[in-house]
Structure formats: C-alpha cells, structure tokens
Chain A
Amino acid sequence: MLTQLSKSQYKGLAALLPPLLLLIIFLQVRLDDPVTGRRQPAIEPPTLQKSLTGLGSASLPFEYMLGAVSGFRQIIAGLLWVRSDSLFHSGNYDGILPLIRLITWLDPNWLDPYATGAWHLTYNFTDTDQRSDRRYLPAGVALLNEGIKNNPDLFDLYKEKGWLYYDKFKNFEESAKAYADGMNHNPDVTQIGHALAHAYERNGQLDEAEKAWETAIELHKKFAADPKSSADLKSRSDFGVKNATKNLQMLRFRRKNRVDDIKPPVDLQFTYTVTRVKPRVIEVKGTANMIGSRGYDVDTGIMVEGPVDGVRCDVQLQDKGYQIPPPGEFTFDLPTDVTLMKEQISIKGGRVAKRGGLINTYEKFAGTVSPEAEKAGVYAFKRDEAVRDLQAIPIGQALASNKISPWGLRQLVSVAYPVPYNSLKPIQEEKDVPGLVTKLKGDSLKVEELTKKGYMISQKDTQAPSEFKREIDMSKDPKMYGFAKDEYELILWINPRYAPDFFKDRVGFSGEGLKEDQRFLDTSTVKNARIVRVVIPLKKEDILGDGKKVIATSDAK
C-alpha cells in the first residue's frame, strides 16, 4: 500500500504552510505595486471595469465579458476590432463607435482604435452630400486626448491630433502644439517634424517654421549616419533631408520674395448672394478678385500674375453665436439640438485679356489652358465670345500686322517655345524675345500648330472676376440639421493661410497683401491674420420658409 507520512513529517509539512502563506501575501503586495508590479499601466491598463459595466449600448456581451475577466482582454479587443472593420466595410459607422469605446477600454495601449475612432468621428459621419458632421469634432479630439493620456510617451497620437487640427479644424496653432509635443517622444521625423514646420508656416510663425525644418534636417542626417539605423530608415532619412532642405529653401525664397510680391495690396472685391431655393436648401454664390501668381521665379518672385483657380470660400451655417466646445471627456453622444453645417466652395473662372495679348479659344472650351500657357498668363475664352467681344484675330494675322503687344509677343514665344521643364524661369526672358519672334515668323508650321490649338490675339482689354456658387441642400438630413433654434448665422470667409501657395505668393502668408479698405477684411478672428469674412444673421424663417427668396446679399452692405 501507499506509505503514509509519519506524524513528525506530517507536522513538519503543516508547519511550512504559515510562512509560505505569508510569503505569498508579501509577493502579492509587491505584484500589486504600481511601479514594479502588474498595476503599472503598461501591464494592466486600469479600465477593465469600465468595459464591463459600459455605457448604454457600449457594454460587452456575456461571452466577451467572461473572456475579458478571464484574462483574454487582448483577444477580445482583437475580435471587436475585426468586427468593427467589417462594420466599416458595410458602412455601419454608428455600430463602430461602441466597439471602439470598448476596445480602448479593454486595451488602452492599442493606438489604432484611438486613431481610427477619431477618424470615423470626424470624417465618416456625413450628410447625403458628404459634408461631415462637425458636431463630432470635440468627440474626436477627446478620444485622441484620452489615447494620449494613456500613452503619453508615444508620438503616434500626437501626430493624429496635429493632423486633425491641421486638416479638419484648420486650427494651425493647436496643430503645431500637438506636433511639437509629439516631437518630444522619439518621433518619426518625416511624419511629425515636417508636419510641424508646415503647421508653423500656416500659423504665420515663419521663424519657428524655419527652425522646425532645420531640426528635421538635423535629425534626418543623424538617423542616416547612425550605423544602428535600418536600411529602410537610412533611405527614408536621405529622402527626408532632400525634401526638408527643398522645403526650407522654398520657405526662405518665399519670405524674401513676398515682401515685394504682396505690393500693391489686392482688393478681393468680395461679393455674395445667398438665396433660399426651397425650405432647407440655400444657394450661396458670389465673386472675388482672386489674383495670384501664374508664373513664379524663385529668385525674383512673381513674374506673371492674374486670376487663379484653387482658392476656396468657406461657408458655415450655425446656431447664432455657436462655438465648438473645448473637448472634455470622450463621449459619442451628440448635441442633437445644435445645427452646424460647413462647406467649402471653389472660387474659379477669373479671366483676363489684354489688348494685343495672347488668349486661347480652343473650340472644345474647357476653361483651362496648357501649363506653359498658364505660366505665361494666358486665359481661355469661348471662340465666339473672343471673336465678338474681344475682336480676337489669328496669330499669323497679328504678327503680320503688328497688332500684338510686347507682352503678347513674350506670351506667344513662351507658349511656342516653352522653357525647359526644370528651368527656374517660368517663361522666356525678355532679352530672348526678339530672337524667338524672328524664329517664329519663319516657322509657319509652328504658327499653324498654335492656331489649330486655338491661340489668338485679343484686340481689347477685359477682366472677369472669379466666381463661386453652390446649392447646399440640408433637407435630406433633418437629424443632422435640426434647426431647433430661432436664430442662425451664415459665415463666409476666405483665409489665405490655407490657400494654395500661388495665391499666398500675392497676398502673403497671412493675408498681409490684402487691401486695407475692402469691405469684409477681418483682422480679429484669426490671430495675426487678415482674412475676408462676413457673418450674415439669419432667422429660422429665412431657411425654412417656402418659396425662392434672396435672403442676403453683399449689395445691402
């Protein structure tokens, strides 16, 4: 039979138990230590209770709850993540948010759910016409803030926050702050360092922008020279040096050139008309004198200027006095009584023709011209319009009869014999024009080719402003645009800070080149910037009333 223990052996073993139990308790106390034990956030993020108790629809089903309490937090978080991905692909964004909430509770160190969650909140909830629901913006930032709080030493979520402020809010001050914070946490220099410089530049902090580029170049060089760097990092760092150096040079050129290029000041001559088309549908249209650089020389600045396409007019319809609240604790409950619509409308189609200057009248009118013609300040006109209103004549006839101006000749030879693609000069230099004109006069094939392409010489001056127009339909999304209040305001603005560089070349980094006396110049809304802005007060009736009606116009100003 199995031999039993002797009494003394039995007692001896039993006597071992109390000290061993004390040792267990001692070890457990040490393991509960928030510094050396499992209670440190890196091992056991302290949010499990939240994910089990949940908020409304955001609570775990039983089987998931059992898994989570049994030590399978990551596997449950992973399953929820896979589920949220399939919901995304089926377009069920509403279903994703509770899952994101649970995942970030179950695994607060997983960065992707914060980044993706904030992206869903701020970009993917849209109305029928793909305008995002801006009431979610504070929630998006709050989610990123929570992620940053849980992962303060990693750069990734600072980057996401910086981009959200940069792209969605157009708040470059907050963007630069987030990127600057990210730079303190072992960042990817291309992702954060470059973005920081861009954010500073758009915020008008040009000295800081230069310093940011210099820092980025320095860090890239350090990584490229570090023998511990991987081949991929070295290659990216080499590319980063080139990219950052080019950007720094461009910034310096622009700072130097824009001092003169913004003179004389531009009067945008902004006009607008807002019409109620039918209840909850408004049409916003207007004009502006969007003068920018058509041909730019990095040494001397603008060589050719004229109306440019690509700048946008921001339109925001909101409850009177509404301001986006500062982000608090993350919640995806919407303030349903708030109406907030944001749209951007392209301002385009501005055209200029000078007497004796080159124009394009290609029969298949598309409103655009070739890149070399664009740099030479050539605009497109409809053929019949050009012949009737501008009395345009063919190139051959103009050359033979000298009905072409010196500027027209320069435009013509720049289109006929474009400067090389990599040339620093956008058009042919003045000294080369006579020789090229002689060459063109002897090249009938080239003249014929240009004529076939629709080039003609205008015999009159004309200037048409750029236009913007958009019908904004808020009738299909009553949940998003509830119009619960009695008073609203429609805000229209053009902010040069996020306009394309060819426009900023003429009006400056922060609108310094905008004319002082224009009607809608606003120097107080955006810190240290001059923008065009108008706030139009509206009544509920203006938007919800029946019948077509002009509800606001700049003529009344």
Chain B
Amino acid sequence: MNTALVIARNTISEALRRKVLNAFAMVGVAVICLTFMFGQFTARQEFTLIRGMGLGIITLAGIFITVILSINLIPTEIERRTIYTILAKPVRRPDFLLGKYFGALGTIFINIALMSVVFVIALAAKQMLTGAEGQPSPLEMFKGVLMIYMQMLLLSSVAIFLSVFLSPLVNFFLTLSLFIIGNMSTFTLDLAKTGGNIFVRGFFTAVHYIVPNFGNFQFTNPLVNPGVQVKSEVLFLTQNVIYAIVYAAVLMILAILIFDRREV
C-alpha cells in the first residue's frame, strides 16, 4: 500500500506540474464574476441563481478535470514508456493502478476543494454585503460539494477502469456517455417499472442497477431552494458516500483483474 501512496503522490505532483490547477483559477474567476452577474434580480432570485450556477460550474469543471486526467493516467504511462522506469522496482500491478487512482482522486480533491472554498467565500461575502435574510449558510454548500466529489470519485474509477483496455479517445466518449446515462436514472427507473414489455422492463432494470448511477448524487435542489427540506439528510448523504466507494471499489477490482492479465 505504501507503494501505491508513493505513486499517488507522484501522480498528484505531475498533475500539478501540468498546471491542472489552472482550471481552478478559471472557475474561481467565473464564480466571483457570477456573484455580480444577477444584480437585476431580487435578492432571493439572485442567490438562487448564484448557488445553482456556482455548484453547476464546479461540477462541470470537476467532470472535465476528472475525465481528462483519469483517461490518460495509464495509457500515457504505457505510450510514453515511462512505465519502464518503474520496472526497476518491485511494484505490484494493483499498487500501480491504485496509486494512479488515488493520485487522480487527490488531484481532483485539491481542485474541487479550492473551487469550493472560493465559491463559499464569494457567496458569504455577497450575503454579508447585501445583508440578505433567510438565506442558508454558505457552509451548507459543502454538502453539495461532498456529493460532487463522490460523483467524481466514481467517475474517475469508471475512466480508469475503461482506460486499461480502451484508447483515451474512445474512453473519453464512453466515460462521458456513461456519465450522461448514469444521470438519467429518473428515466431508467420509470422505464424499468412502466416499460412496454418484460424485455424492455428487464433491460432498463439492468441499466438502472448496473450502470453507475450518477444521478444519485444530485443534491443541488435543497441547497438552491432554501425552503426545500430533505427528510433524512444524513442518511441520504451517507448512503451516497457508501455507494460511491463500493462502486468505485468494484470498478477498481475489475480494472486490477484486467490489468493483471494485460501485456505491458
């Protein structure tokens, strides 16, 4: 495991050298601009827009960072032959793969955390300056950020799993497609229950339960609309965290099993 952590640390360092954090800088500027963009609306509408768009921008940036980073981690090492520099040391394939995955997670965490902190500070400053009453605490946004991170944790595992047997280009489209399908769980669940015949229902039942369900992590609504109450917030958030970790574990085990048999 120590080996994996060393690889993870190196992966983070390399990502930072490749200026992945520029994404954070851009999002930071976007978020700050966002807080001044909707002055023509009433305070309540303005904060609804700022919160919704802020969380949306963080998610969007998170998706691109996650996908682009994760699909390239393994193939780049192989294509550039840099993987051979590791050959000199007794590194197990699972450690290599897990190291890369943890490195990706670390990089994504740093990005999302920085983006979120800028967002929350900007939101708090805006609330303080406008003296808006009845708005939820800006710190509440971190619940949404946690869900975004869990979504990225799962998305990264999908991308890394696919990267052990697909080229980056194919992987890019497939990962994004799975993200979109996984977000359509409203449809898949409805079709699983009300589909035209048993085959349709069976197909969508399988899709709903087997495809990573990214729609699970949508926690924006109660954060954007202050009056909306979630009945069991802690339970909901906990279940999602467990779901993301377990699903990512399954994908990483599959990735390890495939990578283990692959010619390098």
The stretch from B18-26, B196-204, B219-227 touching chain A is B219-227
Counting chain A residues whose Cβ lies within 8 A of the other chain, the interface size class is 35 or more
Q: Is A38 an interface residue (CB 8 A)?
A: yes
- In this assembly, does B231 line the interface, its C-beta being within 8 Å of a C-beta of chain A? yes
Measured CB to CB, the closest approach of chain A to B139, in angstroms, equals: 18
B240 at the interface (CB under 8 A from A): yes
B230/A40 in contact, CB under 8 A: yes
- Interface flag for A48 (CB, 8 Å): yes
Chain A nearest CB, measured from B220 CB (Å): 5
Which A residues are in CB contact (< 8 Å) with B15? none
Contacting residues of chain B (112-163) with chain A, CB-CB under 8 angstroms: 131, 133
B216 CB within 8 Å of chain A: yes
Given the complex, which residues of B lie within 8 Å of A109, measured CB to CB?
A: 221, 224-225, 227-228
Instruction: Using A85-B40, A232-B133 as known contacts, say yes or no to A21 and B250 having CB atoms under 8 A apart.
Output: yes
Task: List chain A residues, Cβ under 8 A from B222.
Answer: 42-43
Which residue from A2, A37, A73 sits with its C-beta under 8 Å from B92?
Answer: A2
| A52-99 interface with B by 8 A CB criterion | 66, 69-75, 77-78, 81-82, 85
- A387 cross-chain contacts in B, Cβ below 8 A: none
Question: For B60, what are the chain A residues with a Cβ–Cβ distance below 8 Å?
Answer: 72
Contacts of A4 in B (CB 8 A): 92-93, 260
A42 with B228, Cβ < 8 A, contacts A70-B179, A70-B183, A109-B221 known: yes
- The smallest beta-carbon distance between A35 and chain B, in angstroms, is 6
Q: Which of B41, B90, B236 contacts A85 (CB 8 A)?
A: B41
Q: Is B45 an interface residue (CB 8 A)?
A: yes
CA–CA, A49 and B189, complex, Å: 12
Question: Which residue of chain A lies nearest to B48 when distances are taken between CB atoms in the complex?
Answer: A110
Whether A225 sits at the interface, judged by CB under 8 Å, is: no
Cβ 8 A contact of B239, one of A10, A27, A111: A27
Expressed in whole angstroms, the Cα–Cα distance for A177 and B209 within the complex equals 46
Cβ of A5 under 8 Å from chain B: yes
B170 touches A (CB below 8 Å): no
Asked if residues B52 and A77 are in contact (CB atoms below 8 Å), the reply is yes
Contacts A28-B243, A42-B231 given; does A82 touch B38 at CB 8 Å = yes
- Specify which chain A residues have a CB less than 8 angstroms from the CB of B38 in the assembled complex: 82
The answer to the question of A550 belonging to the interface, with a C-beta cut-off of 8 Å to chain B, is: no
Contact B56 A44 (CB under 8 A): no
Q: Given A2-B86, A17-B250, A49-B190, is A110 in contact with B260 using a C-beta cutoff of 8 Å?
A: no
Interface string of A149-191 (1 = CB under 8 A from B): 0010110100000000000000000000000000000000000
Instruction: Knowing A85-B40, A85-B41, A107-B225 are in contact, say whether A35-B232 is a contact too (CB < 8 A).
Output: yes
- Contacting B at CB under 8 A, from A1-54, are 1-5, 10, 13-14, 16-17, 20-21, 23-25, 27-28, 30-32, 35-40, 42-46, 48-49
Establish whether residues A28 and B209, one from each chain, have CB atoms under 8 Å apart when the complex forms. yes
Distance between Cα atoms of A25 and B264 in the complex (Å): 34
- Which residue of B55, B227, B229 has the most chain A CB atoms within 10 A of its CB atom? B227
| Cβ–Cβ contact B221 & A74, under 8 A | yes
**Residue B246 lies at the interface, judged by CB distance under 8 Å to chain A:** yes
Are B49's CB and A78's CB within 8 A? yes
Q: Are A74 and B56 in contact (CB under 8 A)?
A: yes
In-complex Cβ contact of A71 among B92, B218, B235, B254 (8 A): B218
> Is B208 a contact of A28 with CB atoms below 8 Å?
yes
Contact B49 A81 (CB under 8 A): yes
- In the complex, what residues of B have CB within 8 A of residue A27's CB? 239, 242-243, 246
Nearest neighbor of B50 in chain A, beta-carbon distance: A78
Q: Which residues of A contact B (CB under 8 A)?
A: 1-5, 10, 13-14, 16-17, 20-21, 23-25, 27-28, 30-32, 35-40, 42-46, 48-49, 66, 69-75, 77-78, 81-82, 85, 107, 109-112, 151, 153-154, 156, 230, 232-233
Task: Supply 15 further A-B pairs (C-beta < 8 A) apart from A73-B218, A156-B227.
Answer: A1-B264, A2-B91, A4-B93, A10-B260, A17-B254, A28-B213, A35-B232, A38-B236, A40-B231, A46-B186, A74-B224, A78-B48, A85-B40, A85-B41, A154-B227
Q: What are 24 A-B interface contacts by the 8 Å CB criterion?
A: A3-B91, A10-B257, A17-B254, A23-B246, A24-B209, A31-B243, A35-B232, A36-B235, A36-B236, A37-B239, A38-B216, A38-B236, A43-B221, A44-B221, A49-B190, A71-B215, A74-B56, A74-B220, A107-B221, A107-B225, A109-B224, A230-B133, A232-B131, A232-B133
